[in-house]
Amino acid sequence: MLHKELLERSNCKRPNRRSFKHPFKVMTVYAVILGIFTTSFIPGNLTKASQVSVSSTDTYENRFLELWGELHNSENGYFSPQGIPYHSIETMIVEAPDYGHVTTSEAMSYYMWLEAMYGKFTGDFTGFDKAWDTAETYLIPTEKDQPESSMSKYNAGKPATYAPEWELPSNYPAKLDSGAAVGVDPINSDLVSTYGTSTIYGMHWLLDVDNWYGFGSRGDGVTIPSYINTFQRGKEESTWETIPQPCWDQLKYGGKNGYLDLFTGDNSYSAQFKYTDAPDADSRAVQATYWAAQWAKENGTDIGAYKNKASKMGDYLRYAMFDKYFRKIGASSSAGTGYDSAHYLLSWYYAWGGGINANWAWKIGSSHNHFGYQNPMAAWILSQDQEFKPASKNGASDWSKSLNRQLEFYQWLQSSEGAIAGGASNSKNGRYETWPAGTATFYGMGYEENPVYADPGSNTWFGFQAWSMQRVAEYYYKTGDTKAKALLDKWVSWVKTVVKLNADGTFEIPSNISWSGQPDTWTGTYTGNKGLHVIVKSYGTDLGVAGSLANALLYYSKASGDDSSRVIAKELLDRMWKLYRDDKGLAAPESRADYSRFFEQEIYVPQGWTGTMPNGDVIKSGIKFLDIRSKYKNDPDYKRVEEAYKNDKDPVFYYHRFWAQCDIAIANGVYSILFGDGSTPVNNSTIAPVSAAFDRNTGSQKDIKVTLTPNGNQFTGIKEGSTYLSEGKDYTLSGNEVTLLKSYLAAKATGDFKLTFDFDKGADPVLTVTISDTTASGTVTPAAATFDKAKDKQADVAVTLDKAGHTLLGINLGDRALSSGTDYTLSGNTVTLLKTSLASLQAGAYKVVFDLSEGNDPVLTLTVTDSSVAQGSLKLQMFNGNTSAQTNGISPKLKLFNTGDKTIGLSDVKIRYYYTIDGEKTQNFWCDWSTAGTSNVTGTFVKLPQAKTGADYYLEIGFTQGAGELLPGQAIEVQARFSKSDWSNYTQTGDYSFSSTGNSYADWNNVTGYVSNSLKWGVEP
């Protein structure tokens, strides 16, 4: 999305206008990926910027503070009056944004990162708070922008109607196909029940900050800023071929159907809203917030709620992990039934929308995955850091899977030389076509050299290498992950061969790169990809990319101890500062041959389609880029561009892009944080050995001795994760010898764990300890038993326990410690579980653990049934979508089975969920999704005439005639939700029907099912 355009500055040739037929085929590469190569015309009098006041003696910290000052100097014009960062200071710039004073979620995420680092150096995090507040106010659509009345009508069973993607804009509009396969959305109910709303918490990618186009906020034409979109029409659509349109389309501007029928073919059109999220920006926001939290702790403060905001954004960002139409990964002709539509990668976008005046909504993921959008650092944060783990049931585990899948993706795509190739798609050509024989695959998805767009190829820009691998390097620095290290070792080796540090003090980095071959099909192990190759096609001095590249090299150097990477990064930072520092930041000259397209690029509009832009510009067949952007003629730089065009010359600009200035500032800040002023190279400390084993068997336990080689650094302690071990208790230190005490090691679980030996400088060495236990283990016979709660069938459960010479310390049933004499008796080797205790259990499966003093604890699987429960033609399974003790919304997820041999009319069926209201209020019911159709499910609240234990109300779920029939052997699902009208909390932990465990359907007797008012399933309270 954001990076739809790429300009190859060094190779960009001006076409002969007389023979100009197809602009995006004649020119080699065109305009920019997110503003990569831009600037404004060089000022007539280029002067050095005045220095901001700095107090540090650290050159690189001072550089960061200087650039921060330039960005916040109102005379420089980086921010709007509302405090929104523009894409660039200069307005006449066409890249992914088609105007300089629009902005992107990319810029907003860099703003957060910039302010987080400012807090690191100054202790002042109010700027970080403001950056988040600005994003929440202007970039994340509010409830007014995506009304709950529409979003709550979203049908997770049919998330959207399929429309094919096409290669050329001239193939559009794409006709909707309601008969095409569309899978189910498996995370909607989880998110709705967790956050109590159906709206989406993610940044829309493109904002008209000054309302330059005139759409206004929610179509009013005047309010600043305005959500807009551009790209809609296939992989060959460059920015030059787009038609800007409002995200809130009231059919007020454009043609008779607004802008809708330019892109989508339908029988009729209605006013609607639609937004698109750029996943790499949202994940960078998470990354920035993590560092803000870490640095705030160092300064004795806390960023508080902003951690929750980042966690919440990451929760919704999971939509980017799913196929566009939730089809099965690797079997894309079939609709997904749940997580089988998850590729677990950060795809190119996710999007959502709905009716303005009608209650309907839709959501889509993306089938196309580019390596450049991956962020293993964010995945690690969201899956491992307790302060950032999402609140939803599956959020953290989904991100854990994503972390591993992303690392595999990089491995699969690493070329023979070390650079990372394009990506993979679950939908060939955006139409789920069959991949040609011999296509390399990744979990069944086909390799694509240039995912998403081809004009120019999306992976021909070197910047993706720097951006994406910076995240890998940061992740490696934090975790020491060997997969990340192997990736970076090879990638950095390649980078060292392609970065030019010239003798005259200049530098060059790759601009455009070219690919040949393809990776080997992924089988779980990196093969070396001898058939996949990269070459550098052109070089340039893109300053933002150079900053990001330096950032990546610095984290790698610090983590690996490779000082040559630090030296290269330092040279890049020093040289660009010396060569390109000006009075507003840093800027290098950029020749824009593609700017002839202002005057020559035709924009496809179907024959006969007519409409107008808000300023009156006519939209019709045959128009040029400038025809629907006539306000450019009033731009202060327009005359210069026009004059250059008339004289067949390429205009030269010095652009100050916000994201690029941030990338340079942050890289200098990273240098300061990791290496200080960098005047003295750091020698890394080492340990020996780097791996060790420990046996928990009492007779085999031994201390582990580790020898330190400090290399001039000071040893400061040992960490397990982020927690320091206690000297004297967990280990001892004598000279350069550390002894890990067996008393500490014996308490560790079997398996591997890592200890980081912390030194004040250099890369910290890591010891991997493998814990085993050769102690003889006890056994229980039988290993499984059944207890029937029916009063006439209750019986004690007796088992034989072989303690293998160890001592029985206790017996646990789930999380509950059983009491001898009350819950069980012990006679010799016989343990008897008493029926009087077992009768209190709910039906289900339990683990009874016999806790022995040594060895592995034997486990009895106990299945509790109740044959007295009313049986019949129904069976109900259930789990609670939200298991929090306190919640403002209760979310029973139900599955109803017809276990009989006769068809049941669903209108005759009732289901009851029993609970306590905890404060009398009116209540509201929603069906978030049902295979019977959400509109065919009803909910009624009934107050019990006399309160029971765990219940004073029940929700009765019923069905209309439209729900149809339930055939023998079939089942339907109902995902329900209810809340009090004032959104006050329920305490659900003691509720009769509440299930505190499980996140999948299981038989549950505490919900009841009725046919024609006759109890057929469950036990009433």
Q: What is the CA radius of gyration of the chain?
A: 31
Check whether residue 606 and residue 523 sit in a common domain.
no
Please report whether residue 667 resides in a domain.
Answer: no
Q: Return the residue matching tokens 């499980």.
A: 998
Closest to 862 measured CA to CA, from 826, 824, 918, 807: 824
CATH number at residue 633: 4.10.870.10
Angle, to 10 degrees, between the axis of helix 376-384 and the axis of helix 305-316?
Answer: 110
Task: Tell me what pLDDT residue 998 has.
Answer: 67
Please report whether residue 11 resides in a domain.
Answer: no
Please report whether residue 82 resides in a domain.
Answer: yes
Task: Tell me the mean pLDDT in the region 935-939.
Answer: 93
CATH number at residue 970: 2.60.40.710
Check whether residue 834 and residue 959 sit in a common domain.
no
Please report whether residue 275 resides in a domain.
Answer: yes
Q: CA-CA distance, 954 to 914, in Å (whole number)?
A: 4
Check whether residue 93 and residue 175 sit in a common domain.
yes
Task: Tell me what pLDDT residue 56 has.
Answer: 66
Please report whether residue 678 resides in a domain.
Answer: no
Domain tally for the chain?
5
Q: What is the pTM of this model?
A: 0.70
Tokens found for residue 677: 């002023």
Q: Is the pLDDT of residue 52 over 70?
A: no
Q: Is the pLDDT of residue 590 over 70?
A: yes
Least confident of 21-25, 491-495, 881-885, 925-929: 21-25
Task: Tell me what pLDDT residue 679 has.
Answer: 54
Q: Is the pLDDT of residue 27 over 70?
A: no
Least confident of 193-207, 267-281, 928-942: 928-942
CATH number at residue 724: 2.60.40.10
Check whether residue 732 and residue 791 sit in a common domain.
no
Average pLDDT, the chain: 91
Domain termination residue (choose one: 833, 865, 897): 865
Question: What pLDDT digit, counting tens, does each position of 396-449 carry?
Answer: 999 999 999 999 999 999 999 999 999 999 999 999 999 999 999 999 999 999
Q: Is the pLDDT of residue 206 over 90?
A: yes
The angle at the Cα of 4, spanning 224 to 138, to the nearest 5 degrees, equals 20
- Residue 173, preceding bond cis, omega within 30 degrees? yes
Question: What pLDDT digit, counting tens, does each position of 737-751 carry?
Answer: 999 999 999 999 888
Task: Tell me what pLDDT residue 7 has.
Answer: 35
Bridge partners of residue 361, in order along the sequence: 354
Catalytic annotation present for 106: yes
Q: Which residues have a Cβ under 8 Å from the Cβ of 134 and sit 6 or more positions away?
A: 82, 83, 84, 108, 111
Check whether residue 785 and residue 909 sit in a common domain.
no
Q: Is 785 exposed, middle or buried (0-12, 13-18, 19+ CB in 10 A)?
A: middle
Task: Tell me what pLDDT residue 39 has.
Answer: 33
Q: Is 752 exposed, middle or buried (0-12, 13-18, 19+ CB in 10 A)?
A: exposed
Q: Which of 58, 70, 90, 106 is catalytic?
A: 106
Q: CA-CA distance, 403 to 479, in Å (whole number)?
A: 12
DSSP code for 897:
E
Q: How far is CA 859 from CA 782, 805, 814, 983, in A?
A: 10, 17, 11, 43
Q: Which of 61, 249, 277, 280 is catalytic?
A: 280
Bridge partners of residue 948, in order along the sequence: 951
Please report whether residue 692 resides in a domain.
Answer: no
Q: Which residues have a Cβ under 8 Å from the Cβ of 823 and sit 6 or more positions away?
A: 811, 813, 833, 834, 837
Please report whether residue 9 resides in a domain.
Answer: no
Task: Tell me the mean pLDDT in the region 627-638.
Answer: 98
Q: Which residues have a Cβ under 8 Å from the Cβ of 751 and sit 6 or more positions away?
A: 770, 771
Q: CA-CA distance, 734 to 725, in Å (whole number)?
A: 16
Q: Is 887 exposed, middle or buried (0-12, 13-18, 19+ CB in 10 A)?
A: buried
Least confident of 176-180, 503-507, 759-763: 759-763
Question: Which residue range forms the structural domain that includes residue 710?
Answer: 697-765
Q: CA-CA distance, 67 to 70, in Å (whole number)?
A: 5
Tokens found for residue 672: 């300061």
Task: Tell me what pLDDT residue 225 has.
Answer: 97
Please report whether residue 985 resides in a domain.
Answer: yes
The three-class DSSP label of residue 498 is helix
Q: Per-residue confidence at 55, pLDDT binned at 50, 70, 90?
A: low
Looking at per-residue confidence, does 635 or 840 come out higher?
A: 635
Catalytic annotation present for 643: no
Pairing of the two strands 507-517 and 500-501: antiparallel
Check whether residue 315 and residue 418 sit in a common domain.
yes
Task: Tell me what pLDDT residue 723 has.
Answer: 87
Question: What pLDDT digit, counting tens, does each position of 524-544 carry?
Answer: 999 999 999 999 999 999 999
DSSP code for 139:
I
Check whether residue 315 and residue 440 sit in a common domain.
yes
- Give me the phi and psi of 643, to 5 degrees please: -65, -40
Tokens found for residue 718: 């040992």
Q: Is the pLDDT of residue 32 over 70?
A: no
Least confident of 91-100, 267-276, 868-877: 868-877
Question: What pLDDT digit, counting tens, does each position of 796-816 carry?
Answer: 999 999 999 999 999 999 879
Task: Tell me what pLDDT residue 600 has.
Answer: 97
Task: Tell me what pLDDT residue 678 has.
Answer: 58
Q: Taking a C-beta distance cutoff of 8 angstroms, is the pair 254, 611 a contact?
A: yes
Check whether residue 277 and residue 327 sit in a common domain.
yes
Length in residues, the chain = 1021
Task: Tell me the mean pLDDT in the region 238-244.
Answer: 96
Q: CA-CA distance, 523 to 516, in Å (whole number)?
A: 21
Task: Tell me the mean pLDDT in the region 964-971.
Answer: 90
Q: Is the pLDDT of residue 848 over 70?
A: yes
Domain termination residue (choose one: 830, 865, 900): 865
Work out the percent of the chain whose per-residue pLDDT is above 90.
80
Least confident of 270-279, 423-432, 880-889, 915-924: 880-889
Check whether residue 358 and residue 468 sit in a common domain.
yes
Check whether residue 152 and residue 24 sit in a common domain.
no
Looking at per-residue confidence, does 676 or 409 come out higher?
A: 409
Q: Per-residue confidence at 103, pLDDT binned at 50, 70, 90?
A: very high
Check whether residue 518 and residue 597 sit in a common domain.
no
Task: Tell me what pLDDT residue 57 has.
Answer: 78
Q: Which residues have a Cβ under 8 Å from the Cβ of 694 and sit 6 or more positions away?
A: 701, 702, 704, 742, 745, 746, 748, 769, 770, 771, 772
Query: 298: number of CA atoms within 13 Å, CB side?
Result: 16
Of these ranges, 16-30, 443-457, 725-739, the one predicted with the greatest mean pLDDT is: 725-739
CATH number at residue 413: 1.50.10.10
- Residue 246, preceding bond cis, omega within 30 degrees? no
Task: Tell me what pLDDT residue 815 has.
Answer: 78
Check whether residue 391 and residue 540 sit in a common domain.
yes
Q: Per-residue confidence at 22, pLDDT binned at 50, 70, 90?
A: very low
Domain termination residue (choose one: 580, 604, 629): 580
Q: CA-CA distance, 302 to 312, in Å (whole number)?
A: 18
Closest to 456 measured CA to CA, from 166, 96, 107: 96
Instruction: Give just the sign of the alpha carbon dihedral 205, 211, 214, 215.
Output: positive
Q: Per-residue confidence at 960, pLDDT binned at 50, 70, 90?
A: very high
DSSP string for residues in 166-184? -SSGGGPSEEPBTTS----
